Chains A and B, each alone.
Chain A
Amino acid sequence: MANSTFKGLNAVQRQSLVISLTAFFTSLLLIALVSVLVLIGYRGVAYFWPEPIYLITSKHESGEFPVLANIYRDLSEQEVTLKYSNAKHPYGSQIRIEQGGLDSVELALDSAEIKLKDGRRILALPEYIITPTHAQKSLTEFSAVASEAALITAQIESINSTHLAPVHEALSQFDKRDVVKDAPAREKLVNTFNIYQKRIFALEKQRAEYQLRIVFPNGEGMLVPVASIQDIDFVSRLTVYEKWKVLLSEVAIFLTESPKQANTSGGVFPALFGTVLMVFLMTIIVTPFGVLAAIYLNEYAPHTSLTTVIRVCVSNMAGVPSIVYGVFGLGFFVYTLGGSIDELFFSDTLPAPTMGSPGVFWASLTMAILTLPVVIVATEEGLRRVPEGLKAGSYALGATKFETIVRTILPIASPGIMTGVILAIARAAGEVAPLMLVGAVKFAPTLPIDSEFPFLHLDRQFMHLGVLIYDGAFHSQTDGKSASMMFAACLLLLVVVFVLNILAVILRARLRRRYHKG
């Protein structure tokens, strides 16, 4: 059939048909690539962009109106999504409503988006501030009042760390030594504890008296403790320049803070840190393993059918579904290896596992196994490209095989090795499924690194951007804002992979310049 349709065309037409077809598929590829980047980029940045607040009235049967809301318009639909606050739902709720159902929509210039420190947001009209002296202060003095409240917070924290912490420490020592409940020393400690506790309660009470009064559109008011407020933005009043400033501060919060409200707001720092740490550890583990294996296969192993079989197996390992590696990591590393380590070295804490539970080290090790074939194949490719003449030149100067490998072959093959490492990094940074089995969690209370010995806690579970995105995807139906947090995390993951790759590519280019002609 193809032949008969082709017969009507002359040679030039046939050729141009082939060119058009191939060009068409190339352009499809480009379109797919660009749309991924544009979508992720647009939705990701939209998460940080301050949306203006509208005062909206409607006779909708839900009885929620009037509300203050951000309006999210879908591209083609008649419906809009409103993310609103009112007296019933001060911390925000969401509704989809037909455009025609809205009675009036006006920009609420005096209303503000009040960001709380716990990650929640309130859209309301701030009225005035109440201080402990019961004086009403105007909003312009907010920052002064906020710093007064912050001063009290600092006092509370200093009491906590300088006085209460040692008491806790001493009490836990007593518990360890089984000191009786009514021992005088213990009672003395409890007394001091109570004294400081009282001081803290007093301070907290004082702090709670700094309040911000806000009013919702239906006239109901509410008091918000000043100490819990992070920021007040009169979004509708902002100029574009000011909006960018807000956006940048939001990005800074996103990058440096922990997630709040079950990963729907706040920042992603632990996930970012966890991702980079895991990739870093994975690289440290996989590079020597892969390079040594490739050296053996390429330089030392005899050329028999067995080595051919091994090569085929290595290449096929790259195609094994990643979840299989996750199950292997859980079954072998975590349960078997980790369990044995616990029995041997941490038997006093059993049955609570130390290494026998998923953690960042096992995750890195699993990812190292997963990316090993990539590194081996790329390294072998690099080793094979070392000119025979250079090897012979090295041997002719009295170098042994090992010296030749270390001094000549490896440096020349290093760009090839770096290619393998780049591919491994790209793969490892993007994997989610196996990580969820061997150590990545939705929320980890602590970072795998801290100031306590041994500083790097490889047994701890960690957060990962991919897992955060996966988690975020389940919020998307109910909450537009947290869905866009997923997009923001996605954008960040892209940036992380991109930056890691760029670093490796720069390193590879430097190695190439150094060891290759031109």
Chain B
Amino acid sequence: MLKLFEHNTLSVKDISQEQTAIEVKNLNLWFGNKQVLDDICMRIPKKKITALIGQSGCGKSTLINCFNRLNDLYDGCRYDGEIIIDDRDINSRKVNVSRLRTKVGMVFQRPNPFPMSIYENVCYGLKLQGVKIRRHLDDAVESALKQAALWNEVKDRLFESAHVLSGGQQQRLVIARALALKPDILLLDEPTSALDPLTTLFIEELMDELKKHCTIIIVTHNMQQAARVSDYTAFFHQGRLIEYADSDTLFTMPDKKQTEDYITGRYG
């Protein structure tokens, strides 16, 4: 706990424009007639880890899907409000969604490596970008796998199927796949819920390393994990942002009763 208090974290209200990676302004989102997100406003700081917590169905996954417009894939999804990344509203029609998704990487709950070799998995995004030179691909694959702390385990079998890897390795491979595109923001949607505790710890350490390079937003059901790894935490309930503060404050002196009930396990 002592170590946590030494963190030099700003209060959320003091996050300046320059320090903001994502600014969400009055975001509303509906699936059909059901409102899933209700007037969300928040600033997510650069090169920090922000955790989103809340009950299942509270809209936290939907929110991070907004950051790379993955909600566009679902029929009947409508939204308004602004999400500003790099001074541009990504909800605008003019945004190149493919480009956006290369800048905002995402890792899913279940490891989802493509049924290809490890090497091909990591190059997938780069090849879509039109990178063809073998040497560039080799370098990118190596550095992405090193960043994801997977290089030493797979360097001798890069051309074997990704399915031979263990669950934790697969998840790190998926992280490497996203990192290969050098994203500014990395969205992690319950990245460790399908993994064992040791592997989870490994991935958490990895996140700590990664935040030097990019902003990380993690959705998690695991309160300890949120407290352990995140700099900031936002608590959602029924599509509303109830409380958003630096993690130390939120987990020790929550403002709202609802937050306190949730983090102490009284419901949810």
Contacts and interface: CB of A to CB of B under 8 A. Distances in A.
Given A389-B108, A399-B98, A400-B98, A394 B114 contact: yes
B163 A389 contact: no
Contacts of A518: 163
Interface string B94-121: 0000111110011010101111100000
Nearest to A517: B163
A396 B108 CA distance: 10
Interface stretch (A150-158, A329-337, A403-411, A417-425): A403-411
Given A387-B112, A408-B114, A517-B163, A396 B105 contact: yes
A408 B116 CA distance: 9
Interface string B24-47: 000000000000000000000000
Interface in B100-154: 100-102, 105-106, 108, 110, 112-116, 124-125, 128-129
B128 A398 contact: yes
Contacts of A390: 112, 114-115
Interface stretch (B68-76, B78-86, B215-223, B239-247): B68-76
A392 B115 contact: no
Contacts of B49: none
Interface of A: 302-303, 387, 389-400, 403, 407-408, 411-412, 514-518
Nearest to A391: B73
Nearest to B109: A389
B22 interface: no
Interface centre among A303, A395, A398, A514 (most CB of B within 10 A): A398
Nearest to B174: A393
10 tightest CB-CB pairs across the interface, nearest first? A397-B125, A396-B106, A398-B102, A389-B112, A515-B115, A398-B101, A393-B112, A398-B98, A517-B163, A399-B128
A372 B118 CA distance: 36
Given A389-B108, A517-B163, A395 B70 contact: yes
Interface of B: 68, 70, 73, 75, 98-102, 105-106, 108, 110, 112-116, 124-125, 128-129, 161, 163, 174, 177-178, 181
B213 to A, nearest CB: 18
A392 B114 contact: no
B108 A392 contact: yes
A21 to B, nearest CB: 43
A395 B101 contact: yes
Given A390-B112, A394-B114, A399-B128, 11 more contacts: A389-B108, A389-B112, A393-B108, A396-B68, A396-B70, A396-B106, A397-B101, A398-B125, A399-B124, A407-B124, A514-B115
B115 A397 contact: no
A399 to B, nearest CB: 5
A338 B122 CA distance: 51
A397 B73 contact: no
Contacts of B161: 514
Contacts of B102: 397-398
Nearest to A412: B115
A394 B102 CA distance: 11
Contacts of A392: 70, 73, 108, 112
Given A393-B174, A516-B115, A517-B163, A398 B181 contact: yes
Nearest to A512: B115
A517 B124 CA distance: 19
A394 B75 contact: no
Contacts of A412: 115
Nearest to B105: A396
Contact of A389 (B68, B110, B178): B110
A56 B110 CA distance: 82
A479 B100 CA distance: 77
B115 A411 contact: yes
A303 B110 contact: no
24 contacts: A303-B75, A389-B108, A390-B112, A393-B108, A393-B114, A393-B177, A394-B124, A395-B101, A396-B70, A397-B102, A397-B124, A397-B177, A397-B178, A398-B98, A398-B101, A398-B128, A398-B129, A398-B181, A399-B124, A399-B125, A399-B128, A403-B128, A407-B124, A411-B116
Contacts of B113: 393
